[in-house]
Structure 1
Amino acid sequence: MDKLKPTVRCLKCRKKLKGRSDKKFCNDHCKSAYHYKKSLEGELKFYNDVLRILRNNRKILKLYNREGKSTVRCGVLLEEGFNPKFFTHYWKNSKGDVYLFVFEFGFLKRSEHGKDKYVLVKWQEYMEH
């Protein structure tokens, strides 16, 4: 019994392919467009992953800083999924402390009485100067 040969289609435009059995594209344009789209998908995945982390960090900082300034143990934020490696900008105060910000919510890691904590602040107009 002869096996039916499956129809092979161009990976880009889905037209039936003729010729070699290992052919993947119907022409150079389809091949180039397909690989360009794939390269963009890789870039977009990275961008979307970072944006997701930043949004989550902002949500957590907002949740634990309702008053404009607060202090919370590092472990509490980390358990919520906070990732301190991702932030949008920083601000250095007159004492030399560098606050890392996720949009309008900032954090500064401190150690008090042997416990790691974050001082949380909200962006203020005076910080622009």
Structure 2
Amino acid sequence: MISQRTCLHCKKELQGRSDKKYCDVHCKSSYQYEESKKEEPRFYNKVDNQLKLNRKILKAYNKAGKATVRSKILLDDGFDPNFFTHYWKNHKGNVYFFVYEYGFLKHIENSKEKYVLVIWQDYMGK
């Protein structure tokens, strides 16, 4: 006997195996995607998304390889300086934080908080 129920995603009648839940792989994928959006994002996803956003922002403001930008501008775009992938300390003792190949150094200039933006160079890895 063929059991008839409805697809969990599109609500069409199902025919076939008694434990079948979806019409096809597309309905299964769509249903699982919609269910995953209801869940609280995992910590890994939050960190990964912030790193991607930070990199995108640093890249956008650093077209020439070195730039200085007011911190408010970056922060207003969603930049979070607490999320970085690694750091590099120069011979003066300044610590540059990097989001992959894009780095930043916080400093005060004319009583304004700014970030110096740089791109990773080969000599930094030595």
TM-score band (shorter)?
0.5 to 0.7
AA of the residue aligned to 2:70: R
Tell me what 1:91 maps to: 88
Instruction: Name the TM-score, length of structure 2 as normaliser.
Output: 0.68
Query: Cα deviations across residues 73-120 of structure 1 (Å, max 9, x unaligned)?
Result: 000000000000000000000100000000000000000110000000
AA of the residue aligned to 2:78: G
The number of equivalent residue pairs is 89
Query: Cα deviations across residues 26-46 of structure 1 (Å, max 9, x unaligned)?
Result: xxxxxxxxxxxxxxx88x711
Counterpart of 1:110 (choices 73, 92, 107) is 107
Counterpart of 2:97 (choices 95, 100, 104) is 100
Instruction: Name the TM-score, length of structure 1 as normaliser.
Output: 0.66
AA of the residue aligned to 1:88: T
RMSD: 1.6
User: 2: distance between equivalents of 1:76 and 1:48?
Assistant: 25
Give identity over the alignment, percent.
Answer: 61
Give 5+ residue unaligned stretches, structure 2: 1-18, 20-38
Give 5+ residue unaligned stretches, structure 1: 1-14, 16-40
